[in-house]
Amino acid sequence: MLFVSRLTLERHQVWVYLVAIGLGLAAGTAWPEIGPALERLLWPTLAALLFVTFLQVPLLHVRDALRDRRFAVAVLLGNFVVLPLLAWALVKAFDFDPVMRLGVLLVLLVPCTDWFITFSQLGKGDVPRAIAITPLNLVLQLVLLPLYLWLMADAQSLGSWNWATLAPAFLIVLVPLASAVMAERGIETHPKGERLREAMAWWPVPLLALVVFLIAGAQVGTVLDSLGELQTMLPVFVLFLLAAALLAKGIAAQLRLPAEQGRTLAFSMGTRNSFVVLPLALMLPVGWEIAAVVIVVQSLVELLGMVAYVWVLPRHLFR
């Protein structure tokens, strides 16, 4: 029997997602009538993905992130001041239409809370500090994302939203988040429950593969009709990854962070939280489906970028 470790699965997850997207596009092309069924399956799958993802975050220990104040300042400055300004500059420079602009902003404005820990481990970062800062990143992004969108998104984009119809999107994030908090409380009360968390740690990769399969199958028409526009996204996401690494280097140098913490800062700044913003994109009005596809495209570019980060950061940028 072939046994694959969880770390090996996470290291090669980009290929899992590429295969899932290819299968989804093939299924959606061969049987276009299955689109509505795939969309119905998408919501419970996304809720399950968010729950198992949030369960890996120490949500009850936000204060732990502030114990190393210099590292916390670096992460918060990078993720919530420097990178939002970078995202705003990129969408201004590339002059996207309102739909594409909203998709890019949604996915670039908030930091990752899951696989950046894995890549910090693979790239010889400071994993304990990565874990400690994660709940603070999550709380702040949920609070600040509406402010960022109000400041940076096109007025036409925000005006087209029916905020009442977005309620399910907020629930699909908040219900798994609340469930994960309660589960974590139970795990800390009953230490044997840690086995449950360890078992759940296997599920983010296969569940995300299923999510991108369902999106690709349901939105194959949108993908094929927007290939030219999607190609214009690639330089933006590559530039973001390059700039995030260099900005992390500058912040780490100014705050005199050790190399391990500098690598962790770079992984935090280079990874974005597509899971949290995807429900919002999926609830946009008819004709705005491309925003969700933009988020999926960014995730794939980011994963390939993380492969480069793992090799480059410890050898060249943060020796």
For the stretch 139-185, pLDDT in tens is: 899 899 989 988 887 766 666 666 666 677 778 888 988 998 898 88
- pLDDT given for residue 5 in this prediction: 76
pLDDT tens track for 12-68: 888 888 899 899 999 999 998 998 899 889 889 989 998 988 888 887 777 877 788
State the pTM of this model.
Answer: 0.88
CATH 3.40.50.300 corresponds to the domain 36-317: no
Of residues 230 and 125, which shows the higher confidence score?
125
- pLDDT given for residue 287 in this prediction: 76
Amino acid at 193: G
Per-residue pLDDT band for 3 (boundaries 50, 70, 90) equals: low
User: Tokens for 131?
Assistant: 């874990």
pLDDT tens track for 76-111: 999 999 999 999 999 999 888 888 888 899 999 999
Distances (CA, A) of 50 to 6, 9, 244, 275: 18, 19, 25, 7
pLDDT tens track for 204-248: 889 989 998 998 888 888 887 777 778 888 999 999 999 999 999
- pLDDT given for residue 166 in this prediction: 67
Residues near 56 by beta carbon (within 8 Å), at least 6 away in sequence: 114, 117, 197, 200, 201, 204
- pLDDT given for residue 262 in this prediction: 95
Give the DSSP letter string of 15-43: HHHHHHHHHHHHHHHH-GGGHHHHHHHHH
Residues near 266 by beta carbon (within 8 Å), at least 6 away in sequence: 244, 245, 248, 249, 252, 309, 313, 317, 318
- pLDDT given for residue 159 in this prediction: 64
- pLDDT given for residue 185 in this prediction: 87
What is the length of the chain?
319
- pLDDT given for residue 163 in this prediction: 61
Task: Say whether pLDDT at 129 is over 70.
Answer: yes
Provide the residue ranges of all domains of the chain, joining segments of one domain with +.
36-317
Per-residue pLDDT band for 1 (boundaries 50, 70, 90) equals: very low
Q: Provide mean pLDDT across the span 248-262.
A: 95
Task: Say whether pLDDT at 302 is over 70.
Answer: yes
Task: Say whether pLDDT at 300 is over 70.
Answer: yes
Q: Round to whole Å and give the CA distance between 167 and 100.
A: 22
Q: Round to whole Å and give the CA distance between 56 and 228.
A: 37
